[in-house]
Structure 1
Amino acid sequence: MKRKILFSLIFIAALIGASFLIGAFYQPFGSFETFRETGFKTPTISIKPVKESLAPTINERMIIYTGYISLETNDIDGTIAMIRSLADRYGGYVASSNKYMYDEEVRAEIVIRVPKDKFHAAIQEIESYGKVLNENINSEDITQQYIDLKARLSNLQHQEKRLLEILELAKNVDEILAIEKELERVRGEIESLQGQINYLERNVEMSIISINLTKP
């Protein structure tokens, strides 16, 4: 059963003039003000944020692993084939591959993605495919960034839920339009945050290894 909205009417009379300001407040969900007689047709809405204690927790660190290896090999095409096979065997895939001429020499670049738990094994196997000229391994801990994004997402989802509850209680077109406008803004932010979270999760789950191949 819907809860009854408690509206308090505040009348301010000026010594000169007969205009009145009417404000309506919806206390459980912040403020919900409507100005009808003063020319302000659109209500303004604010929703209190979720307390920080509701921020999510995670069981393990969120770490993005990336690797770069420069290999010298006599058989570039054969090495590319082995790297492709490795990516497939480890449950990954080839993100990009490029073979080109540089100073009249054939060179190649191939980028693969492998599950995070296969990253170090993949690096070790690729090292055996030729002479290692250069190698860089990086790890980026994005745990706090991830937690912050999840907390902001939870807060916005909480706001969305409350706005939907207020929408059911709206009494006129102005209130409905104002609530729908705020819902559109909140949902846009939810979509943006969810996209960022998905991007981080993909990069954590699937590590990136870039390999540069040259001939002796």
Structure 2
Amino acid sequence: MSVGGRRLRAVALAAVGLVAVLAVGACSADGGNSASDSGAGPAMGSAADEAGAAKVAGGADQDKAAAGGSGAADLRVDQRSIIYTGTMQVRVDDVERAAREAIARVRAAGGFVGGDQRSSESADARAELTLRVPADRFTAVIDGLAGLGKQERREIRTEDVTEETVDLDARIATQRARVDSARKLLARATSINDLVTLENEVGRREADLASLEAKKRRLADLTALSTITVTFVGPHAVTVEKDDELGFLVGLRGGWSAFLSSLTVALTVLGAVLPFALVIGVPVGVVIWLARRRRPRRAPPAGPAPMVPGPAGPVGGPAPSAPPPVPAARSGP
């Protein structure tokens, strides 16, 4: 082999060796990087998780601090101010007994009766009660009233007044501070004009404060005591449902009721007037009748003699002559 061939072979072997060395170095570098990445991943993930957990815990602590502060409002469901109002109709066999039972249950629950209207007519017996019960006993009481008979209608309405209550509390606190500041200024007044002006201002601010406190007491009463209006009707009582408010039968029933009411009013008026008519009208009628009997009868006035019509002649001619005499009949020989 010539010298040039050997040189070329050596250069080729050197190039192959250099490429192999570079390849081995690249593989080792990649493995080191992969190892470092795999080791750093869990550490970074755990750090991020710890940071997120710390943030959540901090937010929870802030929420707790805000809830525990004096100026924050507790808006949980069990702490909200809600007004409950219920209306129901129950058909029972004995209206009076059902009404007594309802009143007894309401008083046992800590409530009282706000209104009581009853009609004891056998055909249309009914009793309408307005009951005030504690808000936490509202559902139990209304279910108990429904169990006294056959429930025909129930309607429950709620009104959330939490925001209004919170607003009233803030306004009351502000108004109290204004009253206190006005009283302090009044205590330091030195002239008559300042004294009169500050007294008027204190009176006005105290009146506004009293009005706000009255609204707060009204809301507190409505939220603390719920209102239930229950109507007990007899087994044969006629009730008008919402679906039957229009129609021929409803109109006929209404007209008949109006006719009976008008007839009742007319008979009542007649019964009230009849004693006066008997006591006063009968004697007056008798006096008038006697006066007419005693009055003399007057003869009819005399007038001209009646004209007897005779046979009339022709107009403008001579008067008619008398008829010839009739000869007397002769007697026989």
Same fold by TM-score, threshold 0.5 exceeded?
Answer: yes
How far apart in 1 are the matches of 2:122 and 2:170?
52
Q: 2:102 aligns with which of 64, 83, 94?
A: 83
How far apart in 2 are the matches of 1:170 and 1:75?
71
How far apart in 2 are the matches of 1:54 and 1:166?
28
Q: How many residues align?
A: 164
SS of corresponding position for 1:109: strand
Deviates more, 1:95-104 or 1:196-205: 95-104
RMSD (Å), alpha carbons: 2.0
How far apart in 1 are the matches of 2:218 and 2:173?
17
Q: 1:188 aligns with which of 207, 222, 231?
A: 207
Greater Rg over alpha carbons, structure: 2
Q: 2:115 aligns with which of 78, 87, 96?
A: 96
Give the 5 Å matches for 1:47-126.
57-58=73-74, 60-100=79-119, 104-126=123-145
Structure 1 contact 56–147 (Cα < 8 Å) conserved:
no
User: Post-superposition, which runs of at least 4 consecutive aligned residues in structure 1 deviate over 4 A?
Assistant: 53-56, 101-104
How far apart in 1 are the matches of 2:177 and 2:151?
52
Structure 1 contact 84–94 (Cα < 8 Å) conserved:
yes
Q: Runs of 5+ in structure 1 lacking a partner?
A: 1-52
Give the superposition deviation at 1:55.
Answer: 5.8
Give the superposition deviation at 1:205.
Answer: 0.6
* Structure with the higher helix share, 1 or 2: 2
Corresponding residue of 2:190:
171
Structure 1 contact 64–207 (Cα < 8 Å) conserved:
yes
Higher relative contact order (CA 8 A, sep 6+): 1
Structure 1 contact 55–151 (Cα < 8 Å) conserved:
no
1:211 aligns with 2:230: yes
Give the superposition deviation at 1:105.
Answer: 1.0
Percent identical: 25
Judged with a 3 Å threshold, the aligned counterparts in structure 2 of structure 1 residues 144 and 102 are, in CA distance, closer, same or farther, namely farther
Corresponding residue of 2:172:
153
How far apart in 2 are the matches of 1:186 and 1:118?
39
Length-normalised TM-score, structure 2: 0.47
Give the superposition deviation at 1:166.
Answer: 0.8
Length-normalised TM-score, structure 1: 0.72
